[in-house]
Structure 1
Amino acid sequence: MTRPVGTFCLVLHTHLPWLPHAGTWPVGEEWIYQAFTASWQRVVRVIEQLDRPDTLTLGITPTVAAMLDDPYTLRQLHTWIANWQLRAAELAGRPDFPDLATYEWRAASASLADFENRWATGGSPVFSQLPVELLGGPAMHPFQPLLPSRLQRFALSVGLADARLRFGAAPAGIWAPECGFRPGLEQSYVDAGVSRFLVDGPAVRGQTHTAYPVAGSDVVAFARDLEVTYRVWSPKAGYPGAAPYRDFHTFDHASGFRPARVTGKHVPPEQKKPWDPAAAFAQASVDADDFVTRVRDRLLGLADQHGRECLVVAAYDTELFGHWWHEGPAWLEAVLRRLPEAGVRVTTLRGAVEAGHVGAAREIPASSWGSGKDWRVWDGEQVADLVAGNAKVADRLLSTVDDFRSARRDPVLDQLAREAMLALSSDWAFMVTKDSAAHYARRRAARHSENVHRLADLLYGGGRETAEALAGELRTVDGLFGHLDARQL
């Protein structure tokens, strides 16, 4: 067997905010269903069709794992897919989109059959059988660097325990939410049994050719290679912007389908050309070839520079492949098939460690994968009020648990912890900073924060019975992670 030119790790991060019972598009339940049918379901099929061990590294955040095991979500998802099929049938009755109607009918029918055969009883059995390395993470996806250490450790513990319950084992690696890091988090990882995690390339000054133990620990940090990663998607460009691809932002509003191709960056919706699946998927093949060439050339260049085989890590949100970029799963399958043919070892983060891609220990600075590669998205001027409110929520949670802790499990304190962790989700600050459904994000953060203070006020005011009733009501809406035990705080 020919010696590999180097190692490539693809890491996908499957995440959306916890949304069951939370409303409709643009940010509510509709988003979950689109992400499942357009991305998660299709990416899983790609992995299974490849039928190769250590295909890639897949981060399943606890919120996604909980959603796809939630009976309410599964019932609604089943109905949504059936309605997708009905919408396609209705479109077939119109003279303007006959080919699109056929395409959508077939896609909806395949999705429905797959859901009923495998997903209807939950996502955990499907994910746990994939030939991938699963990554976990802290519950509710908080921006860990801004949490008090005590609460950060609790969130991580709950998230890892959830993965253990759903998948049979706690993952050895995590996708740190937003790739957020501050010095000291590595000790929390050590204590939780986490041995590897993700940071962004600038956190290691672009020296992404190997992984690094964080100084003073055995926890290994893997950094995204932005030179390669940005070929697919960057803040300014990437393959999905090519003219033949399906345009995400242009709708036929009567049916809800996307009938147009990108056509051009500055072409208004009404002037975009019809989407041609054959041309679009042909473009995906061309772009897959280009990516394979870029990865191989990058690895050869790094080997010349460092005198040994090197590592390239590319990491993306899973939702890019299918939801935002319709042809993305086809591109993904082509890349994962063609890289080994080009002499590139394709493996997981675990496999990269086993292949020896671990360098000398180094300090990892405060960082993230957000704008500026610092914390400004989650701790900037636009979200100063959220940051201040979050600090009060964290303090209220910890002080209330300390004051009312008992030997017996307390459903009020458990729900108070859930509400606090939901309030502290990194998604709300991200959506506000990026002005993406910012009003919704503020409402969600405010709602959960208010629930924390209401429950605490009732306990301190002697209203135990009322607090228990309120906790029960809230648990029917946001009762995820039944194993969450506030006594662990």
Structure 2
Amino acid sequence: HLGPIARGSRRFAGVKYHRITGRGEEKGLYDREAAEKAVEMHAAHFVKQRRRQLRELSALGFDPIVVVPFDAELFGHWWFEGPRFLDLVIREAVKNDDLCWATPSEYLATHPTQQAIQPAASTWGENGYLAVWLDQSNAWIYPHLHIAVQRMSEAARRHAEDSSPLADRVLKQLARELLLAQSSDWAFLIKTGTAKEYATKRTLDHLGRFNRLHDQFAANHVDEKFLRDCEWRDNLFPNLNWRYYI
């Protein structure tokens, strides 16, 4: 029944009906059963390769660790089966006691002597540099963000001893709007042109709400109706600690 929908005009619906079936224009419809089989195979292969890697490293005479960092944005967004892959990897790994899960801090607690390095500045973007996020198309964002960061810090320091519920609400919302304006996705989407108008609007909307609320707060004349609207519209991080900006 997805055929008529999936073959229609493409739009940002949030639901992907197609699977990756090659570089051509025609894509097969998503097949959950086939995807489940593929992710089971991929998880088993991943764990098998990590076991082999650890055996080879152990042969060198030390207790090795394999760091497995993932870009969490991939799971569910670009890779629908990503959460299932993680689930299966963990289940596969604990079948035997030759693999031990640990956080970096847990490993360092038992292996305190390690080499220290300073990673070079790099990104996953084109050519490995920052050019995707700092380009002629999106460079206009950063002066506004820098000013907003400065205003946020000044407001936080100015009200560091203010215990009023209203001040706490305003400062939390200012921090939310700033964090949302700073999302690297906006500059990325503007550069790639994938959703340039949407990304531009989101950047300007968050900066606009930040500046309006900041100016009201500085003038000691907060429009609580506007504040409530901001809190409803941009309501992530309910326990955000604005004091980090002091």
Task: Check if 1:345 corresponds to 2:112.
Answer: no
> In structure 1, what is the Cα distance between the partners aligned to 2:58 and 2:174?
52
Name the counterpart of 1:266.
23
Aligned to 2:70, the other structure's residue is in SS state: strand
Does the CA-based 8 Å contact 1:428-1:444 persist in structure 2?
yes
Does the CA-based 8 Å contact 1:296-1:342 persist in structure 2?
no
Aligned equivalent of 1:428, options 186, 196, 215:
186
Does the CA-based 8 Å contact 2:51-2:99 persist in structure 1?
no
> In structure 1, what is the Cα distance between the partners aligned to 2:58 and 2:70?
24
Q: Deviations over 1:150-183 (max 9, x none)?
A: xxxxxxxxxxxxxxxxxxxxxxxxxxxxxxxxxx
Name the counterpart of 1:360.
115
Q: Deviations over 1:192-230 (max 9, x none)?
A: xxxxxxxxxxxxxxxxxxxxxxxxxxxxxxxxxxxxxxx
Does the CA-based 8 Å contact 2:74-2:82 persist in structure 1?
yes
Please report how far the alpha carbon of residue 308 of structure 1 lies from its aligned counterpart in structure 2 after TM superposition.
Answer: 1.8
Please report how far the alpha carbon of residue 454 of structure 1 lies from its aligned counterpart in structure 2 after TM superposition.
Answer: 2.0
Q: Deviations over 1:305-342 (max 9, x none)?
A: x4323222222244544553344455444433333557
Aligned equivalent of 1:387, options 116, 132, 142:
142
Relative distance call for 1:277 and 1:363 in structure 2 (3 A) is closer
Normalized per residue, the structure richer in strand is 1
Query: Given the two structures, how large is their TM-score scaled by the length of structure 2?
Result: 0.71
| Structure with larger RCO (C-alpha < 8 A, sep 6+) | 1
> In structure 1, what is the Cα distance between the partners aligned to 2:239 and 2:86?
36
Please report how far the alpha carbon of residue 278 of structure 1 lies from its aligned counterpart in structure 2 after TM superposition.
Answer: 4.3
Name the counterpart of 2:213.
455
Aligned equivalent of 1:314, options 59, 65, 68:
68
Please report how far the alpha carbon of residue 448 of structure 1 lies from its aligned counterpart in structure 2 after TM superposition.
Answer: 1.5
Does the CA-based 8 Å contact 1:251-1:257 persist in structure 2?
no
Task: Check if 1:477 corresponds to 2:233.
Answer: yes
Please report how far the alpha carbon of residue 345 of structure 1 lies from its aligned counterpart in structure 2 after TM superposition.
Answer: 0.9
Letter in structure 2 aligned against 1:338: E
Letter in structure 2 aligned against 1:429: A
> In structure 2, what is the Cα distance between the partners aligned to 1:257 and 1:482?
27
Relative distance call for 1:273 and 1:443 in structure 2 (3 A) is closer
Please report how far the alpha carbon of residue 347 of structure 1 lies from its aligned counterpart in structure 2 after TM superposition.
Answer: 0.4
Q: Which moved more, 1:447-456 or 1:475-484?
A: 475-484
Please report how far the alpha carbon of residue 436 of structure 1 lies from its aligned counterpart in structure 2 after TM superposition.
Answer: 3.9
Please report how far the alpha carbon of residue 479 of structure 1 lies from its aligned counterpart in structure 2 after TM superposition.
Answer: 4.2
Please report how far the alpha carbon of residue 446 of structure 1 lies from its aligned counterpart in structure 2 after TM superposition.
Answer: 1.0
Relative distance call for 1:469 and 1:311 in structure 2 (3 A) is same
Aligned to 2:51, the other structure's residue is in SS state: helix
Letter in structure 1 aligned against 2:142: V
Residue-pair matches, total: 238
Name the counterpart of 2:54.
299
Relative distance call for 1:311 and 1:253 in structure 2 (3 A) is farther
Does the CA-based 8 Å contact 1:321-1:328 persist in structure 2?
yes
Please report how far the alpha carbon of residue 352 of structure 1 lies from its aligned counterpart in structure 2 after TM superposition.
Answer: 3.2
Name the counterpart of 2:173.
415
Name the counterpart of 2:221.
465
Aligned to 2:99, the other structure's residue is in SS state: strand
After superposition, residues 210-249 of structure 1 pair within 5 angstroms as: none
> In structure 1, what is the Cα distance between the partners aligned to 2:14 and 2:242?
43
Name the counterpart of 2:45.
290
> In structure 2, what is the Cα distance between the partners aligned to 1:266 and 1:373?
24
After superposition, residues 50-89 of structure 1 pair within 5 angstroms as: none
Q: Deviations over 1:383-404 (max 9, x none)?
A: 3111121111112223344556
Q: Deviations over 1:396-423 (max 9, x none)?
A: 2233445566634324444333322322
Unpaired runs of 5+ residues, structure 2, are none
After superposition, residues 119-198 of structure 1 pair within 5 angstroms as: none
